[in-house]
Amino acid sequence: MQCIINRRAEFSASHRYWLPELSELGNVQQFGKGSQFPGHGHNYVLYVSMLGDLDQYGMVLNLSDVKKVIAQEVTDHLNYAFLNEVWPEFKQTLPATEHIAKVIWQRLAPHLPLLKIQLFEHPKLWATYEGSGMEATLTVGTHFSAAHRLALPDLSYEENCEIYGKCARPNGHGHNYHLEVTVTGDIDPKTGMIVDLVALEKAVDEAVIEPFDHTFLNKDIPFFATVVPTAENIAVHISHLLQEPIRQLGAQLHRIKLIESPNNSCEILCSSVAEPVVTAANEAVLAS
């Protein structure tokens, strides 16, 4: 039987976004504060996912051996390093999160049965690489606060309560929504990025965060005048709002994850996004 195992590691390092072929103004325009000398640092968190068969000892691999491999091949080199100069790959292509994840894969692949590399630059920004050439994914996290009421206008209050429970109460209720937006594309051979991070964050802010934040979704967002704003429907609508802005940045929207509360979340794979559900025939929404 095959099993996926995961090993976590950490390293602290600095990097600088700077292309010598650009002027100082050109670098500032492209990379913002990331271009400032002498660079800036992060506490990186690395997750190495491996796939294999269980051996006679009930393990895919001895995790003590995995720990040594990750240290010898990756973290001993990168910890407390200036990434732009530590490995040849980072002199050719800037050490953006996506590119670092790809290079770590290349360093570990001869030694471990890799399935996935995830590298967190911080808790709201991470890249995933699965060995697919230059393709990777980048995820940014953000949040908004909003209220909503779950109720169908053609049903009585009692009938809505049977479907949505406390969420059908007339004056609604609120959440601090956490939103994760994942894009996919090829890593640029010079910048090491899938997409301009500042432009991506701006697109998410303009299309979603500013319109949604501190609103009563049913009343302030015209779309939800006829669509029940369940977490699922909100996520689908967000995916529709972001498809074109992200395409214009040269990437593709891959996944939307909306966390309504510590207990409730939903994910939308954007390659197969459906229309939001107008009726509640297949909803099973529990009160938070």
Task: From residue 30, give the alpha-carbon distance in Å to each of 24, 25, 158, 199.
Answer: 10, 9, 56, 10
Give the DSSP letter of residue 277.
Answer: P
Buried b (16+ CB within 10 A) or exposed e, 255-265: bbbbbbeeeee
Catalytic residue among 98, 99, 260, 270: 260
Residue 135: active-site member? no
Residue 58, number of CB atoms within 10 A of its CB: 7
Would strands 135-148 and 81-82 be described as parallel, antiparallel, or unpaired? unpaired
End-to-end CA distance of the chain: 38
Catalytic residue among 167, 180, 237, 254: 167
157-164 — which CB contacts under 8 Å span 24+ positions? Answer: 163/280, 163/283, 163/285, 164/280, 164/283, 164/285, 164/287
Residue 244: active-site member? no
Give the gyration radius of the chain's Cα atoms.
Answer: 22
Rounded CA-CA distance 168/233 in Å is: 16
CB 109 within 8 A of CB 120: no
Residue 260: active-site member? yes
Q: Say which residues have a Cβ less than 8 Å from residue 64's Cβ, sequence separation at least 6.
A: none
Rounded CA-CA distance 2/109 in Å is: 18
Rounded CA-CA distance 178/185 in Å is: 24
How many residues can be counted in the chain?
288
Catalytic residue among 40, 122, 173, 214: 214
Active-site residue set: 167, 214, 260
